[in-house]
Structure 1
Amino acid sequence: MSTTESTFTFRSIALPALLPSLLFAIGEGSVIPVIPAIASNLGATLAIAGFIAGMTMVGQLVGDIPSGFVVGRIGERRAMISAAVLAIVAVLVCMAASTPWLFGTGIFLLGLAAATFALARHAFMTSFVPAQFRARALSTLGGTFRLGWFVGPFLGAAVIALSGTSQSVFWIQGVCAVAIIVVLLIVPDPTEKLMKPDAGERLVVGESHGLFSTIYSFRGLLVRIGSGVALVGALRASRTVILPLWAVSLGLSEANTALIVGIGGALDFALFYASGQIMDRFGRLASVVPCMVGMGICLLVLAFTHDLPGAVTWFIVLTIALGISNGVGSGIVMTLGADLAPKDNPAPFLGAFRFTGDLGTAAAPLLISLVVALVSLPLAVGVMGVLGFVGAGILVRYIPRYEPLH
């Protein structure tokens, strides 16, 4: 039995990885839903407010470029601390902003911090968790993110109600970032005790590579599995765009929309550990195929229900089904990345892998907006449903080829 296998427990990752991830997700979850409203209050038009809201994703895409190099150079824990410091800077900029463009700059910085933090915690789990526990550990990490996004908006609403100003919600992100720094400085880093061969040496030992050279080095793998992962990201991002738009088109109130989407989100969160068990016991395809096919079916059915009697009931049922389908695939992208990453220095590859997935996440809202503008919302929903089947087919074809045997 290797050193890692004998020392690993799920409790050993709770404080150094899961708690900081939960805190960061709570901060993000409290802030992101109110970004358009704050931008509008600062004088932005509806189009500009939407653009500023998208700066989080732009920041993450840009942040993916240097994040693998940074984590590879300074290590996971220092990178997470640096990301938390950058998040504090972003919070100060957003709270002091008096114009939409300054506010957008702060949101962009928040996206940069999110990219570095996400890669650092992913690399940490890849380095520390033995392969036979990997999917459960990474799906648990995905579950903490879902929990943070579930809790954050409620905390944000409470702070806004008490303070009377929407920008005060950034206090939550700031407090969470400070708490992350304190936790990471106090809690011992378990990866310092690791030795080869299971998890490899600390990342600072390995050579760090830039994003684009890493993409070139792994171009075959990223074109094949990466395209499937990009479609996973695209379908997940489409949910956050399609469901609110569909609710508006049906004339539902904001409160009812939030309740319906919240129920789907709760079921999504509830399945995170089950997803990890499925992947560890039956393989990665047993999780990702039901996830993608399930979301594809739900979106295709939804596309034909807009003008049917009981359209609201269809919307409720399919929103819940989408949450269940997505929950079955909790942690799949991180797990595939960890499976495929080089053991001696995973961060550069994980940065390239995340960049590929984030391209799909960023492209989906643009595609939906384009189809809605040119044709209709139901067609946009149907297109995303078809892409779910395409993504499942790509991953069925290539995961057995690239997934290592453990």
Structure 2
Amino acid sequence: MVYLPTVLFSLGEGAVIPLIPVIAARMGADVAFAALVASALVVGQLCGNLPAGWAVARIGERFTMVIAGVVSMLAAAGMIFAPSIGVLAASVFLLGFCAAAFGLARHAFMTTRVPVAFRARALSLLGGSFRLGIFVGPFVAAGLLQLFDAESAAIWFFMGCLVLMVLLVLFGPDPEKDIPPITRPSARSFVEDSGEPVSGSIPTVGRAGIFRTMWRQRAVLGRLGLAAASLSAVRSARQVVLPLWGLSLGLDASTIALVVGVSGAIDFALFYASGQVMDRFGRLWAAMPAMVLMAGAFFALSFTHDGDAAVLWYGMFAAMLGVGNGLSSGILLTLGADVAPKRDPAPFLGSWRTLTDAGGAIAPLLISGIIAVASLPIAAAAMGVVGLLGAAGFLRWIPRFVPRPKPE
């Protein structure tokens, strides 16, 4: 009941995401406009995080997930029957909005119910559940395309996953009732405007609103939150740079897909190792190696484009990026849970997820701009710089804001 709804939602979403530009192109969009339609998903996620925080705080995780699932069905229907590209883009935007609400609801539930001693492993499993759906979904879509020769088949599959998810959440055992919330805050909580750690219980008089929470938590959002956004940017850059790099080397689509697929498989295989490291040794021991590894891979890749073994280096550093991304699995969820107010985390998590999603959304734009004025290797090196800056931010702010877990 905790992880299966996430698998169902992400499995259907993973089947649909690769087909959004294809559907837009079939409706007459050029390549640039098809990419714009696909980006509506990220924009929807950015816009949905803050309202989702408000909804979870008011009506709870369970009903937020149900509403997100039902509205996602409407978005999927809009994608199937869209009479114009504008309606298609609006449907994709609505899907991103609902995905933000669904993700935040489950994140808030885990934050309030999972003890700190194994929080990172639990949230790494949550991140792994999402990775499983996104990894398997495109293969399901490929099989459905072979069977039915229509992109709408994958969207109908998504709707089926949504129906199962909503029924499971509505009629299955309610984890909110079966698992009592952890009302006792950790030894270090952060409620002062200055961001300094204080001891004792969190004084709460009613629920704070979204914007009041953002103001109260501006210290951690502006410091640790920016470091987290840099990690999200480097992750997003990996998904953009690797296909472009393969194209620039003259590789065919199947070879690029193989390299990207192997990188994704390594990423998925390591998701639980990240939680083990964070719980046993501290958050910094997962964040720093992951950031340094991905930054180093981008830097090294930028020097190999015109070399004799460029294809070999491409495959090697793609795998290295997969290792780095896998070692960082669950770190954004875990850090958000660590620094969120313990009694009412949803408004803060809405702000936290908006900040991290913004990092992921800005990275492709930054890469496009650098390629336009310089080159792809320069863009890769620039993402290496972002990774090193993020690593420095984690090194500075994780010890200040996040307590080390107690040894088991």
TM class, shorter-length: over 0.9
- Structure 2 counterpart of 1:118: 103
| Matched ranges for 1:66-81 at <5 A | 66-81=51-66
Determine which of 10, 15, 18 is the counterpart of 1:30: 15
User: Could you tell me how far 1:158 is from its partner in structure 2?
Assistant: 1.0
| SS at structure 1 position matched to 2:3 | helix
| SS at structure 2 position matched to 1:258 | helix
Determine which of 175, 178, 188 is the counterpart of 2:163: 178
Determine which of 20, 34, 58 is the counterpart of 2:5: 20
- Structure 2 counterpart of 1:138: 123
- Tell me if the contact between 1:264 and 1:323 (Cα under 8 Å) persists in the aligned partners: yes
| SS at structure 2 position matched to 1:288 | helix
- Structure 1 counterpart of 2:397: 398
Structure 1 Cα separation of the partners of residues 242 and 208 of structure 2: 39
- Structure 1 counterpart of 2:47: 62
User: Could you tell me how far 1:248 is from its partner in structure 2?
Assistant: 0.9
- Structure 2 counterpart of 1:41: 26
Structure 1 Cα separation of the partners of residues 74 and 209 of structure 2: 25
- Tell me if the contact between 2:112 and 2:181 (Cα under 8 Å) persists in the aligned partners: no
Question: Counterpart of 2:183 in structure 1: which amino acid?
Answer: P
Percent of aligned pairs with the same amino acid: 48
Structure 2 Cα separation of the partners of residues 404 and 75 of structure 1: 28
| Matched ranges for 1:239-258 at <5 A | 239-258=238-257
Determine which of 147, 160, 177 is the counterpart of 1:162: 147
Measured at CA, do residues 99 and 276 of structure 1 come closer, stay the same or move farther in structure 2, by a change above 3 Å? Answer: same
Structure 1 Cα separation of the partners of residues 238 and 371 of structure 2: 15
- Tell me if the contact between 2:42 and 2:96 (Cα under 8 Å) persists in the aligned partners: yes
2:148 counterpart of 1:149: no
| Matched ranges for 1:291-302 at <5 A | 291-302=290-301
Question: Counterpart of 2:309 in structure 1: which amino acid?
Answer: G
User: Structure 2, unaligned stretches of length 5 or more?
Assistant: 187-203
Measured at CA, do residues 170 and 208 of structure 1 come closer, stay the same or move farther in structure 2, by a change above 3 Å? Answer: farther
- Tell me if the contact between 2:112 and 2:182 (Cα under 8 Å) persists in the aligned partners: no
Question: Counterpart of 2:262 in structure 1: which amino acid?
Answer: I
Structure 1 Cα separation of the partners of residues 384 and 84 of structure 2: 39
| Matched ranges for 1:331-350 at <5 A | 331-350=330-349
Please give the root-mean-square deviation of Cα atoms over the aligned residues, in Å.
Answer: 1.5
User: Could you tell me how far 1:37 is from its partner in structure 2?
Assistant: 1.1
User: Could you tell me how far 1:196 is from its partner in structure 2?
Assistant: 5.2
Runs of 4+ in structure 1 off by over 6 angstroms are none
User: Could you tell me how far 1:159 is from its partner in structure 2?
Assistant: 1.1
User: Could you tell me how far 1:252 is from its partner in structure 2?
Assistant: 1.2
User: Structure 1, unaligned stretches of length 5 or more?
Assistant: 1-14
Structure 2 Cα separation of the partners of residues 229 and 130 of structure 1: 22
- TM-score using structure 1 length: 0.93
Aligned residues: 387
User: Could you tell me how far 1:198 is from its partner in structure 2?
Assistant: 4.1
User: Could you tell me how far 1:401 is from its partner in structure 2?
Assistant: 0.7
- Tell me if the contact between 1:287 and 1:332 (Cα under 8 Å) persists in the aligned partners: yes
The one-character-per-residue Cα deviations of 1:203-253 (angstroms, maximum 9, x if unpaired) are xx9945443332222111101001100001000010111111111111111
- Structure 1 counterpart of 2:271: 272
- Tell me if the contact between 2:290 and 2:327 (Cα under 8 Å) persists in the aligned partners: yes
2:374 counterpart of 1:375: yes
User: Could you tell me how far 1:281 is from its partner in structure 2?
Assistant: 0.2
- Structure 2 counterpart of 1:308: 307
- Tell me if the contact between 2:113 and 2:182 (Cα under 8 Å) persists in the aligned partners: no
User: Could you tell me how far 1:260 is from its partner in structure 2?
Assistant: 1.0
The one-character-per-residue Cα deviations of 1:95-121 (angstroms, maximum 9, x if unpaired) are 001321111111001000110001001
Structure 2 Cα separation of the partners of residues 377 and 196 of structure 1: 48
- Tell me if the contact between 2:233 and 2:359 (Cα under 8 Å) persists in the aligned partners: yes
- Structure 1 counterpart of 2:195: none
Determine which of 176, 183, 193 is the counterpart of 1:197: 183
Question: Counterpart of 2:25 in structure 1: which amino acid?
Answer: S
- Structure 2 counterpart of 1:88: 73
Structure 2 Cα separation of the partners of residues 138 and 294 of structure 1: 22
Question: Counterpart of 2:75 in structure 1: which amino acid?
Answer: A
- TM-score using structure 2 length: 0.92
- Structure 2 counterpart of 1:50: 35
Structure 2 Cα separation of the partners of residues 175 and 388 of structure 1: 39
- Tell me if the contact between 1:228 and 1:392 (Cα under 8 Å) persists in the aligned partners: yes
- Tell me if the contact between 2:7 and 2:133 (Cα under 8 Å) persists in the aligned partners: yes
- Tell me if the contact between 2:282 and 2:404 (Cα under 8 Å) persists in the aligned partners: no
- Tell me if the contact between 2:281 and 2:404 (Cα under 8 Å) persists in the aligned partners: no
Measured at CA, do residues 306 and 213 of structure 1 come closer, stay the same or move farther in structure 2, by a change above 3 Å? Answer: same
| Matched ranges for 1:275-294 at <5 A | 275-294=274-293
The one-character-per-residue Cα deviations of 1:256-307 (angstroms, maximum 9, x if unpaired) are 1111111111111111111100000000000000110000000001111110
Question: Counterpart of 1:338 in structure 2: which amino acid?
Answer: A
Structure 1 Cα separation of the partners of residues 209 and 148 of structure 2: 44
User: Could you tell me how far 1:185 is from its partner in structure 2?
Assistant: 1.5
Structure 1 Cα separation of the partners of residues 300 and 386 of structure 2: 14
| SS at structure 2 position matched to 1:401 | helix
